[in-house]
Structure formats: C-alpha cells, structure tokens
Amino acid sequence: MTTSQKHQDFVAEPIGDKSLGTLVGIGDVLGRKLEDKGFDKAYVVLGQFLVLKDLFREWLKDTCGANAKQSRDCYGCLKEWCDAFL
C-alpha cells in the first residue's frame, strides 16, 4: 500500500500544534465541521482516536460527515503516528 505525501509528512514528526488540515482525510470542509464541534487541533482528534480506538471511524463519520475513505485514511495515519511515537 502506498501512502500520500500528506500521510508521510504527518507521521514523520511529533504532533505538536498541527492543524486539522494536516490529518489525512480531513480537508477544509471536514476541518471546519470538527472545529465547530470543539475539535480544533490534530492532537484533540488524536485524543478521540486514543479513547475510541475501533469506534473512531464511526465517530468521525457522525461528527463531521466523513465518508468511508476519509475516515479510513484518517484512522490509518493516526494509527501509524501512534505506532511511531507512543
């Protein structure tokens, strides 16, 4: 499986203060929807990922309307980031 440049960039360094737009699968529209619900940074979404684990993809669909590919891509990049940094 190949990964996008955005994915490679995200998992290459600590999460720090990264914006939502750095998350794979999250663009401007989904980012705004997440921000409107109080999830304003990538590390806040990471927290949801760590708490929800296998339910994260469904949460992302319910929270901001992510489709199956977007939720799968976001899950994959957060999982790989966790494997590298946690």
Per-residue confidence (pLDDT) for residue 48, from 0 to 100: 97
pLDDT grade, residue 3 (50/70/90)?
confident
Average pLDDT over every residue of 57-80: 97
The pLDDT tens digits of the residues spanning 18-61 come to: 999 999 999 999 999 999 999 999 999 999 999 999 999 999 99
Domain coverage including residue 14 = 5-85
As for how many domains the chain has, the answer is: 1
C-alpha to C-alpha distance for 54 and 41, rounded to whole angstroms: 21
Q: Given a cut of 60, is residue 10 above it in pLDDT?
A: yes
Per-residue confidence (pLDDT) for residue 55, from 0 to 100: 98
Q: Please report which residue ranges of the chain form alpha helices under DSSP H.
A: 5-11, 28-36, 42-52, 56-64, 68-85
Domain of residue 16, CATH code: 1.10.150.40
